[in-house]
Amino acid sequence: MKIENIIKNNKEAFTSSEMLSEGHEKRFEDKLLLWEAAEQHKKSRIRRIWYSSAAAVIILSILLITVLFINTKGNTNDEMAELEMYYNAKINEEINKLYGSLEGVDMETRAEILLELEKINEIPNSIPKDAKNKCIPEKQYAYSQNIYSKKISTIQRINNSIKTIKDNEK
């Protein structure tokens, strides 16, 4: 109890600003500033993590879209090549039939038929390159199929005309 009596009797000494001003306030303010700086660092670190995560998600999304687009475009080119190969084989088959049926046809008719065949070969098989980039693959397929079908049907009509000419000559 002796200490309590000393504190009560000397109350002013314990509450005076002189005792607190010996660095206590300064140390408290320094610690407070350190805590605030640590809090700011923690917030900026969390913010950096969020920004990094968002950037990673955006980059991965762009890469995924790019890879899918390239794969789709690659498949489209492969499918178009396969389509062209099929129709070119059909056209060649029909032309071979036509050349086979040209035997026995007079030279003037033969010249006209060969001229028509050259005109057919001048027709482009696919969409022009400048329009190809603007066109979706389905329209490219439809366009190419339409052109090839027209070529084949024209060659078949010529072949049928040759048969008709031969039949009339008999």
DSSP class of 125: S
DSSP 41-83: HHHHHHHHHHHHHHHHHHHHHHHHHHHHHHHHHHHHHHHHHHH
What tokens appear for 162 in the block? 């040759």
* pTM score: 0.49
What is the average pLDDT across 37-48? 81
Closest to 94 in 3D by CA, of 156, 161, 149, 146:
156
Q: Where are the domains of the chain?
A: 2-169
Average pLDDT in the chain: 77
CA triple 37-42-48, angle to 5 deg: 125
What pLDDT score does 168 carry? 78
What is the average pLDDT across 40-45? 80
